[in-house]
Amino acid sequence: MTSPACLILGGTGTLAAAAEDLARSGADVTVTCRRPELAPPHWCALGIRVLTLDRDDARGIDALVGDGVDGIVDGQCFTPSHAADLARWSHASGSTIMLSSRAVYVDAAGRHANSEEAPRWPGPTPETTATMEHHGEPYASRLGYGANKAEAERVLAAHGERVSVLRAARVHGPSTRRVREWPLVRSVLEGARELAVERADDLGTLTSTASLSQAVAACMRRPSDRVVNVGDAPAVTNLQAARILAGALEDGSTSGVEVRPAAHGEAGALPGAWATGQELDLGALRALVGTPPEPTATLTRTARWVRSIARRGTDGTWELPAQFDGD
């Protein structure tokens, strides 16, 4: 029996866990990226093929899709133009998955995740919530990111086949490029025994690389046209997230780190970088995958991964490898 052929566009970061889990399940996985040196060394043992190919090289991806593949996962579908290509490839794919974002949603007043004024959500946000309009804004901009993602979704709905759209919240986990946990981990490594967290009571859904992998695998098994919010459950506050992260770092030398809400304007407080004030309705996700991962487990894994990649710089301070953004 031939192994299912899975093509992941942009798979060395947020979708690395999905690539690994698909390979472990027996799939023949090919990952495209711009910097193959960032692929984990253990991928060779998993049989994951890594190709240097830009997402804008439609002809190159045409050649990879060829007469057809079992599945395509696109982590780099940022624009309507990208979506038009992905819609075309979906006709030659058993299942197609587009990684989208909660940034597409607008509240009743038209506010969104990147508005100057924060949106107000009356409760958990379902997939039926209105999404941003697109007026040609560049995708790599505060206003354009969500608008382009929303328009890309509409292109796929109109022209694609068997396309699953996965709307993620803020993503955390091994191999993610933006490491929002770094200020907290660095503080603990530097000996802090008390941490203050801004926006401590803000509640929100977090999305781990594990929950994305779980959703990708389910969409591969059950191809369909669908839109699904993806996240860990239950939602957590920034204070809860910070306490889980700090607790995961405790050992003989770092036990007893106190994590508390920051006072208004307190200097040196850590940003509340996880919960955004938006809880996603995960009913469709539960119907697709069963029980999503729990933040206690996924944040613990994230904290220990961040600690494992941290290094002391030449000046003795702690730092992350250059490919990771810890701001």
Q: What is the mean pLDDT of residues 89-103?
A: 98
- Amino acid 99: pLDDT: 98
- Amino acid 2: pLDDT: 56
Q: Which helix (H) or strand (E) holds 49?
A: strand 49-52
Cα(214)–Cα(241) distance, integer angstroms? 21
For the chain, the average pLDDT equals 95
Residue 170 has pLDDT above 70, yes or no: yes
- Amino acid 1: pLDDT: 38
Residue 51 has pLDDT above 90, yes or no: yes
- Amino acid 3: pLDDT: 64
Q: How large a percentage of the chain has pLDDT more than 90? A: 93
As a 3-state breakdown, the chain gives helix, strand, coil percent values, each rounded to 5, of 35, 20, 45
| Cα dihedral 23/29/32/35 (nearest 10) | 40
Residue 319 has pLDDT above 60, yes or no: yes
pLDDT digits (tens, 9 = 90+) for 188-227: 999 999 999 999 999 999 999 999 999 999 999 999 999 9
pLDDT digits (tens, 9 = 90+) for 3-48: 679 999 999 999 999 999 999 999 999 999 999 998 999 999 999 9
DSSP class of residue 298 equals H
Q: What is the mean pLDDT of residues 290-316?
A: 96
Domains of the chain: 5-175+205-233+279-292 (3.40.50.720)
- Amino acid 324: pLDDT: 93
pLDDT digits (tens, 9 = 90+) for 56-92: 999 999 999 999 999 999 999 999 999 999 999 999 9
Cis bond leading into 261, ω under 30°?
no
Cα(280)–Cα(242) distance, integer angstroms? 20
- DSSP-based three-state secondary structure for 112: strand
Residue 252 has pLDDT above 60, yes or no: no
- DSSP-based three-state secondary structure for 107: coil
Residue 153 has pLDDT above 60, yes or no: yes
pLDDT digits (tens, 9 = 90+) for 275-297: 999 999 999 999 999 999 999 99
Count CB neighbours of 45 within 10 A.
9
| Per-residue exposure over 150-161, b if at least 16 CB sit within 10 Å of its own CB, e if not | bbbbebbeeebb
Q: What is the mean pLDDT of residues 301-309?
A: 97
Q: What is the mean pLDDT of residues 266-279?
A: 96
